[in-house]
């Protein structure tokens, strides 16, 4: 009996080890077979150290919706349609990989009442039209941000969120303001900031500094520092300068130099309501940033002396990673001038200036390019 029991015991041991060996080779997640299956993945990871991407970004100037403009957009059913006003230039907004616009008049919606100068409030449909046209991000920090108070700002942000429009420069909460604006466009991480010189004397509500980002060099320095390690390219929108002046002030130039030294790569100016030139500026480390001091008006009811001339600024950004070295190139800064036309405060349209007035087009190109050359900016991250 003991022999039979011993034989049964030995058979059981053999069977048990056989099962264990089978499970180990076929299903154990730490088995040699599993590890060998991972080798192609590891090899692929080592091969992806090289990376290349090239994108074009675009920016337009002030969207400042005066009463004649929103009255012209009003339909019989009470809604508003701004799409016909910009349909001739939609391709300029949609063709770039990422497009930025400055929404100067807050889109607080009809529920709080539309209004014009000096205290603006515009329909939601303004954002709808530009979103459909190809705009990806609205800058909100300007001297009219607080025109209609906190309610208008919250309405605007709510609508931007509803339609999937990115925004920067005005926020619904402190948490929102502390959320870095970094957007990955085809593998290139773009970081965004936006500031204004003031709010036309309207005080920022106590404890609610998040409602509008004011120009404060120490705060800007901190914000740029936060973006540096997370972004490939930092784009700063500045509401600055003197209205109706065709050249930047000394203060604008000094601020641009400060921004470049602190890590801004692209600086886009608004507020003067006329175009101001663009130029490469060199920071203390020898790297170059591109600045366009003012993009003028893109859509407004202002006329004459350059106030009806705006433009679409474009820039090529390349990213190359070789042997774990990330190199960024900025090149081909270009301005395509635009023109706002109307007849008796009706039929507002934005067109390429070249199709409207070729002589004025040449003058604008010469003005905008007078400080620019064929330089490129190359820096490592």
Same structural domain for residues 228 and 367?
Answer: yes
- Cα-to-chain-centroid distance, residue 252: 21
Confidence of residue 48 (pLDDT cuts 50, 70, 90): low
Statement: residue 1 has pLDDT above 80: no
Statement: residue 46 has pLDDT above 80: no
Of 268, 265, 317, 223, nearest to 62 by C-alpha is 268
> Hey, CA dihedral for 94, 95, 99, 103, is it positive or negative?
negative
Domain stops at, among 46, 63, 79:
46
Cα 35 to Cα 21, 28, 44, 239, 331: the distances in Å are 17, 10, 15, 57, 45
Range of the domain at 81: 51-380
Q: Is 4 helix (H, G, I), strand (E, B) or coil?
A: helix
Same structural domain for residues 149 and 245?
Answer: yes
Same structural domain for residues 211 and 103?
Answer: yes
Same structural domain for residues 60 and 24?
Answer: no
Same structural domain for residues 334 and 349?
Answer: yes
Of 10, 155, 168, nearest to 98 by C-alpha is 168
Higher pLDDT, 47 or 371: 371
Statement: residue 149 has pLDDT above 90: yes
Same structural domain for residues 161 and 29?
Answer: no
Same structural domain for residues 39 and 184?
Answer: no
In percent, the amount of the chain with pLDDT more than 90 equals 85
Pairing mode of beta strands 309-322, 51-63: antiparallel
Spatial distance between the Cα atoms of 107 and 156, rounded to a whole number of angstroms: 5
Report the number of distinct structural domains present in the chain. Answer: 2
Query: What's the CATH number where 375 sits?
Result: 3.60.21.10
Is the Cβ–Cβ distance between 10 and 4 less than 8 Å?
Answer: no
Same structural domain for residues 251 and 276?
Answer: yes
* Predicted local confidence at residue 323, as pLDDT: 87
Statement: residue 293 has pLDDT above 80: yes
* Predicted local confidence at residue 381, as pLDDT: 86
Same structural domain for residues 373 and 318?
Answer: yes
pLDDT tens digits, 86-100? 999 999 999 999 999
* Predicted local confidence at residue 209, as pLDDT: 98
Confidence of residue 324 (pLDDT cuts 50, 70, 90): confident
pTM: 0.87
Same structural domain for residues 234 and 292?
Answer: yes
pLDDT tens digits, 15-25? 434 433 333 33
Same structural domain for residues 34 and 63?
Answer: no
* Predicted local confidence at residue 49, as pLDDT: 76
How does the average pLDDT of the chain come out, rounded? 90
**DSSP string of 29-97, one letter each residue:** TTSHHHHHHHHHHHHHHHHTT-EEEEEEEEEEEEE---HHHHHHHB-TTS-B--HHHHGGGHHHHHSSS
Angle at 149 between CA 145 and CA 153, to 5 degrees: 60
The arithmetic mean of pLDDT across residues 316-320, rounded, is 98
The arithmetic mean of pLDDT across residues 353-372, rounded, is 98
Cα 214 to Cα 28, 169, 224, 238, 292: the distances in Å are 59, 9, 14, 10, 20
pLDDT tens digits, 187-244? 999 999 999 999 999 999 999 999 999 999 999 999 999 999 999 999 999 999 999 9
């Amino acid at each position: 009996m003991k022999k039979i029991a011993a034989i049964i015991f030995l058979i059981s041991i053999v069977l048990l080890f056989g099962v264990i060996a089978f499970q180990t080779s076929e299903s154990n997640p730490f088995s040699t077979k599993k590890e060998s299956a991972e080798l192609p993945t590891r090899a692929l990871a080592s091969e992806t150290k090289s990376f290349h991407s090239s994108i074009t970004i675009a920016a337009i100037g002030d969207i400042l919706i005066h009463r004649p403009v929103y009255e012209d957009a009003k339909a019989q059913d009470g809604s508003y349609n701004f799409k016909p006003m910009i349909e001739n230039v939609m391709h300029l907004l949609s063709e770039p990989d990422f497009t930025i616009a400055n929404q100067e008049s807050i889109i607080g919606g009809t529920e709080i009442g539309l209004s014009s100068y000096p205290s603006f409030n515009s329909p939601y449909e303004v954002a709808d039209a530009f979103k459909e046209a190809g705009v990806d991000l609205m800058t909100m920090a300007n001297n009219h941000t607080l025109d209609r108070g906190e309610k208008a700002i919250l309405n605007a942000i709510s609508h931007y969120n509803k339609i999937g429009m990115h925004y920067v420069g005005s926020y619904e909460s402190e948490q929102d303001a502390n959320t870095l604006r970094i957007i990955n466009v085809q593998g290139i991480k773009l970081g965004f900031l936006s500031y204004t010189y003031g709010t036309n004397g309207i005080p920022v509500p106590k404890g609610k500094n998040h409602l509008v980002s004011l120009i404060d060099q120490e705060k800007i320095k901190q914000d740029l520092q936060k973006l540096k390690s997370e972004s490939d390219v930092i784009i700063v929108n500045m509401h600055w300068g003197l209205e109706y002046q065709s050249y930047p002030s000394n203060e604008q130039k000094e601020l641009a130099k400060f921004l470049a030294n602190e890590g801004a790569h692209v600086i886009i100016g608004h507020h003067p309501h006329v175009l101001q030139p663009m130029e490469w500026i060199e920071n203390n480390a020898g790297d170059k940033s591109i600045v366009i001091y003012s993009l003028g008006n893109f859509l407004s009811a202002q006329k004459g002396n350059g106030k009806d001339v705006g433009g679409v600024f474009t820039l090529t950004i390349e990213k190359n990673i070789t042997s774990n070295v990330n190199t960024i190139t900025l090149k081909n800064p270009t301005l395509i001038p635009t023109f706002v036309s109307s007849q008796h405060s009706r039929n507002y349209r934005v067109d390429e200036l070249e199709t409207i007035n070729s002589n004025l087009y040449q003058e604008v190109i010469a003005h905008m390019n007078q400080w620019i050359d064929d330089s490129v900016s190359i820096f490592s991250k």
